[in-house]
Amino acid sequence: ARHKAAVAEARAQSNATAGGPRGDPNVAAAVHAMQAEARHRDGTALGALATLDALEAALPNGTAAPMSAYVQALDANSKRRDGSAQLARRLISRVAGAGRGAPFSPTAFGLAIEAMAKHRDGAASDARALLREAVKRAPRGARECAHAFTATIEAEAKKRDGSAATACELLAAMKDAGCRLDTVAYTSTIAACAKQRDGSAATASRLLVEMAAPPQALAPSLYSYTCAIEAHARRPDGRA
């Protein structure tokens, strides 16, 4: 009930301000409303999109909404059940179209790719395409795109068109670019080794050891071990 009240209050506040007189929107209220849609259980991706639409309509012609507004809408789309990969593509296109000198946002692209991994209409090929666009647009190249790389690896693990070999290549590309690797990146790669037909139990075991050893020195999670065990259970080179 507390969550529902928070979302309702944020929506009401946003409707009263973002949809107000043209040129005088309360941007902070709109962003707060979209943040509530993302964080609370009864929030919706479509609710965040409606708030973003109202905010953009209230802004003067030629004025883009702040990047934080698009990021919150993408976050809600990634987290909420009514989100979709299609909506992520639409939102990231709006981010690009709203550029007008706005700084590149690796977070926006990372959240859009997360939607490709999480929602039924997403595909690993779409995630890879967005990753390529993110790396191309990033002022410092791939190094800025750790979130996007990790989300793409997750898509390789979860989607029918995903590939364990590609997940491993992406992990290696992160290393080469100087991205900071984390447990999620390694675990998603191990998951791809377990779930995809081109996966390998030997590779899953190697990655589990590699992530815990210097220079990474990461603590494998319970899910890391579960995925490695699953690889040995499912892949032809697995061993009891």
Give the model confidence (pLDDT) of 3-62 as tens digits. 444 444 444 444 544 444 344 458 889 999 999 999 999 999 999 999 999 998 888 887
**In one letter, which amino acid is 164?**
A
**Average pLDDT for 148-177:** 98
| Alpha carbon distance 106, 236 (integer Å) | 38
Put simply, whether the predicted model's pTM sits higher than 0.95 gets the answer no
| Alpha carbon distance 101, 104 (integer Å) | 9
Q: Are 207 and 193 in contact (CB under 8 A)?
A: yes
Residue 26: per-residue pLDDT: 82
- Summarised one tens digit per residue, pLDDT across range 95-151 is 877 654 556 899 999 999 999 999 999 999 999 999 999 999 999 889 999 999 999
Torsion of CA 78, 98, 89, 26, to 10 degrees: 30
Q: What percent of the chain has pLDDT over 90?
A: 76
Residue 104: per-residue pLDDT: 82
For residue 90, the Cα-to-chain-centroid distance in whole angstroms is 14
Q: Pick the closest to residue 229 from 214, 215, 240, 213 (CA basis).
A: 240
